[in-house]
Structure 1
Amino acid sequence: MSVATTPRLALLGGGFSTDDDGLLDDWLLGHARASRPKVCFIPTASGDAPAYIDRFLTAFRSRACEPGVLPLFQREHDDKALRAFLLSQDVVYVGGGNTASLLAVWRVHGVDRLLREAYDRGTLLCGISAGANCWAEGSHTDSFGPLTFLPDGLGLLPGSVCPHYDSEPGRRSGYQAAVATGELSAGWAVEDGVGALFTGGALTEAVTRAPKAHLYRLKPDGNGGAKERGVPCRLLPQTC
């Protein structure tokens, strides 16, 4: 199998964190560059919560992949080993939690730079909630308690991201207001159940495990508001 080198990342509105059917995770693995990919879970945003790690390992050990975990609060690798470990991964899967704290911890350990390098080499980057926010230039977040805008991120995906667009009160109105005022740049609103794949920064596939879940593109409308455009999503087939 040829090795993909085009930078790719995926925003997830579900997966093992929230769903039992495994549809989004199976879809994700279908885009890995190896038939039996190495999949690294990074649980930094949750403070390396043990239960979250266990849930990942339970979900992925039963799949055709090699799951691993990168803890940073009890770091196991020196700088050289950390780089070698991350660059050997086919998929990096970032969990939910606190986006602002995640970014701060990554920068202290140099993980932000290593993820950029892995991305440029073709590692598929992905995640849910904070793990989706982190790849963009900014995001809508509850990192500071109340929902607000965070004009910070790795910037691998142009624009901004809002997760849980349909499931958390205040998400839709808050993100629309932030885009309308320019506090966040134009971006992507991800409803729960959706998966969006970006190749070289451009959307190349959108799927959903739930018929009513959508992906939206938001831009300023030029009149002090925000224009919301729904993106067609392919419905993933249910498995028995």
Structure 2
Amino acid sequence: MPVAAPPHRIALIGGGFSLDDDRVLDDWALGHARSPRPAVCFLPTASGDAAVYVDRFLAAFGDRADCVPSVLPLFRRELDDDALRAHLLAQDVVYVGGGNTANLLAVWRVHGVDRLLREAYDRGTLLCGISAGANCWAEGSHTDSFGPLTHLADGLGLLPGSVCPHYDTEPGRRPSYRAAVAAGHLPGGWALEDGAAALFTDGELTEAVTRDPGTGLYRVDPDGRGGCTERRLPCRLLEAPPR
């Protein structure tokens, strides 16, 4: 019998170790990995491989017995093309940090990481991230990569539509994203508040969760009359396990 293709999964995370100390959203994301003890690779590209961000990841994941963490720097790259491909394809989870979405995409393309991530995705690796690390998977996103908030009609296109992170915590995010969708600068998409997370399987939303009942996930679409519609999606409340 033919072997079934693995599911294609992407997780948008509105927190995790970047913002929270309780690990709730990171635990949720790792729970969707294909292995009970997943290999998890952190890509800090969007921050310029900031040492403080790498240290924060290692502090959060380095002492976990339920995963095997690693970090892939590109600004001081150490792996040749074959080793880079082998490392990324060996990962069960690729976790992308926040920072500058436009710079992240440019650096990935120079090093061929965009193509390798597509290959890993097709093989069943869970792709996830926060902020720029959520934006990058979609066709377009809402970003401050160029200073003021604006639309970026660029991305890997693995997730149909657009993404807007920090929907509730950064001033101007909500009206600016809604205006971009209404004007057709961005396709309809997903707006994520800090504290929430969403799982997409084969491009479709399959789960939405939150660590705080006051935060959630929204679907924003053009209404065909020069405006947009905004719909809040039900989210399952996650509880922090005892440590």
1:121 to 120, 123, 143: 123
Amino acid of the structure 2 residue aligned with 1:82 = L
Distance in 1 (CA, whole Å) between partners of 2:213 and 2:143 is 25
Cα displacement string for residues 160-201 of structure 1 (whole angstroms, at most 9, x for unaligned residues): 000000000000000000000100000000000011000000
Instruction: Give every structure 1 segment of 4 or more consecutive aligned residues whose post-TM-superposition deviation is greater than 4 Å.
Output: none
Amino acid of the structure 2 residue aligned with 1:21 = D
Which residue is 1:200 aligned to?
Answer: 202
Give the deviation of 1:238 after TM superposition.
Answer: 2.6
Cα displacement string for residues 108-152 of structure 1 (whole angstroms, at most 9, x for unaligned residues): 000000000000000000000000000000000000000000000
Distance in 1 (CA, whole Å) between partners of 2:138 and 2:96 is 13
Amino acid of the structure 2 residue aligned with 1:40 = C
Identity of aligned residues (%): 75
Other structure's SS at 1:26 match: helix
Distance in 1 (CA, whole Å) between partners of 2:218 and 2:49 is 31
Distance in 2 (CA, whole Å) between partners of 1:21 and 1:110 is 34
Given the two structures, how large is their TM-score scaled by the length of structure 2? 0.97
Which residue is 1:215 aligned to?
Answer: 217
Amino acid of the structure 1 residue aligned with 2:21 = D
Distance in 2 (CA, whole Å) between partners of 1:216 and 1:132 is 14
Amino acid of the structure 2 residue aligned with 1:22 = R
Which residue is 1:22 aligned to?
Answer: 23
Given the two structures, how large is their TM-score scaled by the length of structure 1? 0.98
Other structure's SS at 1:127 match: strand
Which residue is 2:183 aligned to?
Answer: 181
Other structure's SS at 1:177 match: helix
Distance in 2 (CA, whole Å) between partners of 1:123 and 1:54 is 24
Structure 1: 5+ residue stretches without partners = none
Distance in 1 (CA, whole Å) between partners of 2:119 and 2:228 is 34
Which residue is 2:170 aligned to?
Answer: 168
Residues 1:136 and 2:142 are matched in the alignment: no
Distance in 2 (CA, whole Å) between partners of 1:162 and 1:103 is 16
Give the deviation of 1:5 after TM superposition.
Answer: 1.4
Which residue is 1:85 aligned to?
Answer: 87
- Do 1:218 and 1:229's aligned partners in 2 also have CA atoms closer than 8 Å? yes
Distance in 1 (CA, whole Å) between partners of 2:86 and 2:96 is 18
Other structure's SS at 1:146 match: coil
User: What is the number of residues matched between the two proteins?
Assistant: 239
